[in-house]
Chain A
Amino acid sequence: MRPEDIVFATVMLPLLGAALAFCAKLLPKGRVASVVEYTGALVGLGLPPLVLILLFPVVFSGQSVSGVVGQWFVGIGITFRFDALAWLVNILGFTIGTAAWVYSLGAGPKGPAFTGVFLIQTAALCATIMTTDLFNLFVCLEIMGITSYVLIPTSRKAGATLASFSYLMVSASAMVFFLLGTYGFYRLTGALSYEGISNGLQAISSSDTVLSIVSLALLVSAIAIRVAVMPLYGWLPDAHALAPHAVSAVLSGVLIKTPLFALSRILFLFPAGMQVGELMGIAGGVTAVLGVVIALSQEDAKRLLAYHSISQIGYVVAAWGMAISIGVDSPAGTSLMVAAFLHAFYHALFKGLLFLSIGTTVDVAKERNVYILRDSIGKLRAAGERIPVTFMCFVIGALAISATPPLNGFVSKTAITYAMKGSLHYYLLSAAAVGTVASFIKLSRIYWPTGKRGRLHPELGVLPGSSANPQTKAYGLVARLTAQSVLAVLCIAGGLAAPHILTIIGTLMSRGGTNIAVPPILYSTDNLLKTGVTTLGGILLFFVATSKIGSRVLHTIRTRPRSFQGLFVSFSLGTAVLAAFLVVGKI
């Protein structure tokens, strides 16, 4: 079997699965419909990983599968490229996607329509990372966007509809500007494939340079909205906090990272790409710090997690931007890129785990306020969970995000800071790490026992499928706990098997080993000492934050004015700053 023949299966199989799911929607509800729907999910989420296994030898040897869709002529057809980057992002997408879908069987939203839209989103992810055609990227991003606007309000919360509407308006407007950027490049070079544009740009006159820079700025800011890097993050907290738990896990695990890695394909080739990387790297570092400060001030458990997604994507963007600004072909650049991907992947695992376990907890307790909710272990037990699996999952996730060895978060954060030692980013990210520890101590209070004085909650929710609720089928609870446990095991395994994983990703990213990335030394005294200091700093910060003055400051941050217009103002300003930065750099 030639790799060219199967490479599209990663996109087509989820689409086929979606078609099956929609067929199931046409059938009358019952056993047949369920079988068709689950077959669709199996085809869409279960088979593509097998295809990826078949493709592994190809990408591991540094080759890539590229060509034109449908055997059209080069210059007319849509070009694509399936390489190590695409393979890695696919693995990320299918791992989290499968776990989230299994969780949704227990927690909702259920039904063939949800499965269908979810699978279309998965297909769009795979297509986004494979394409090397500017207009095709626009289409893929729009499909990804449209499916998220549909999935966010399925939680049936009023706020979720508003969040989805705001996201739709800001993102759809930004995509019009993306289209204008595409127009600029087409006008200058007459090409749409990245390679064609990059070749064409070498021949343009200096008077056209400004147009090419403005076009690039428009493309980058439209994508930066999806990535939710500061200052374009405004849509994310509400959308991620109010979406169904399974959708939240995918949104913050996969959907904010795929556009970032797809953008790197453009920046590798275009002349001003390095400068874009430089500016975005700084924005990423700032995002990491500001995100965690706002997270620390939140009272809604899921919104706290949502702000942490912003903060953690800041880590990824900082490393990614620095890698591009120093050139990914240098060993240092490759190390940074490896670290960026590793953190993106590991963040997806532990943040997915946190969203799911906190989701189960708040469903049971029917309370999301971190300041009110206490003794969740007892509540979960009362709801029918005999072994505190959810609590253990939360602890693993919280320790992983706080970078505690030997969990995966320690590995990826160490890999990032190791590669950028001494730079501005390094200090920003170290500060963010302290805030992360503090805010997870704050979040973990929802599990603290309250003793006898604790309030009793007679109106507790009951987990569907548990022994306390015999009417519902048993698979609900099993599905939830399976998804959580699998992610928890992956978090631990990702930490323990770190040396092997780093070697594999390093080889993949260095395109066949021409410029092997230097693997970081993980368990050196320095790193362990730094972890200890960070943890102590976090505990200290937690006490400062709970003091009277601290609470007042956090209250001010939490209740800062946020408006619909603000989303657009920050988009316009962000684009203007980026364009100005690039123009100044050129002259």
Chain B
Amino acid sequence: MVERALLLCLLLIGFWGVVAKKNIIKKIFGLNILNAAAVMLFILEGNRIGSEAPILESGLAQVVDPIPQALMLTAIVIGVCVTALALALAVHLYQITGSFDIETIRERIQDET
């Protein structure tokens, strides 16, 4: 139970980072924390029926559920893509406006147009 409570905390910290932080790089950090919380929740779920790595060798009985692990491998890859893209957009925004602060960026872009 305590693991789930900790993961909920992690999830909320990530969400808070995305919503409340003004710095867009910190927002991207928040997104990654949010993602990590979901990934760990799945891994924890797979752990319910066993604890051995799901590599089939003789003498292994109590393997974890491999499906959540397979899913999360994909989710992590997608998370990396999204992070890379978000960072590229952040760099572009910095080049245009000279700031990482979301409010400042919005103001400067509105002034331009």
Contacts and interface: CB of A to CB of B under 8 A. Distances in A.
A449 B14 CA distance: 55
Q: Determine chain B's interface SS by DSSP, over half rule.
A: helix
Interface in A152-197: 153, 158-159, 161-162, 164-165, 168-169, 172-173, 176, 179-180, 182-183, 186-187, 192
B31 A173 contact: yes
A137 to B, nearest CB: 12
Contact of B85 (A149, A176, A179, A192): A149
A149 B109 contact: no
Q: Quick one: which of A165, A183, A568 has the most chain B CB within 10 A?
A: A165
Interface of B: 14-15, 18-20, 24, 27, 31, 34-35, 37-38, 41-42, 45, 67-68, 71, 74-75, 78, 81-82, 85-86, 89-90, 92-93, 96-97, 102, 105-106, 109, 112-113
B41 A183 contact: yes
Contacts of B102: 564
Contacts of A565: 19-20
Contact of A159 (B75, B78, B109): B109
A162 B109 contact: yes
B24 A173 contact: no
B106 to A, nearest CB: 7
Contact of B89 (A165, A173, A187, A564): A165
Contacts of A161: 89, 92-93, 96
B45 A186 contact: yes
Contacts of A162: 93, 105-106, 109
Classify chain A: how many residues form its interface, as a range.
20 to 34
A165 B90 contact: yes
A142 B82 contact: yes
Given A158-B112, A186-B68, A168 B45 contact: no
B74 A139 contact: yes
Contacts of B68: 186
Contact of B86 (A169, A186, A187, A192): A169
Given A161-B89, A165-B24, A165-B90, A135 B71 contact: yes
17 contacts: A135-B71, A135-B74, A139-B78, A146-B81, A162-B106, A165-B86, A165-B90, A168-B86, A172-B86, A180-B41, A183-B42, A186-B67, A192-B67, A564-B106, A565-B20, A568-B18, A568-B19
Interface in A558-587: 564-565, 568-569
A150 interface: yes
A165 B86 CA distance: 7
B14 to A, nearest CB: 8
Contacts of A138: 75
Given A146-B81, A179-B38, A187-B45, 18 more contacts: A139-B74, A142-B82, A146-B78, A146-B82, A149-B85, A153-B89, A158-B96, A158-B112, A162-B93, A162-B105, A164-B89, A165-B89, A168-B85, A169-B31, A182-B71, A183-B45, A564-B102, A564-B106
Contacts of B34: 173, 176
Nearest to B15: A173
A169 B27 contact: yes
A135 B67 CA distance: 11
B20 to A, nearest CB: 7
A173 B37 CA distance: 12
Contacts of A165: 24, 86, 89-90, 93
A158 B18 contact: no
Contacts of A158: 93, 96-97, 109, 112-113
Contacts of B27: 169
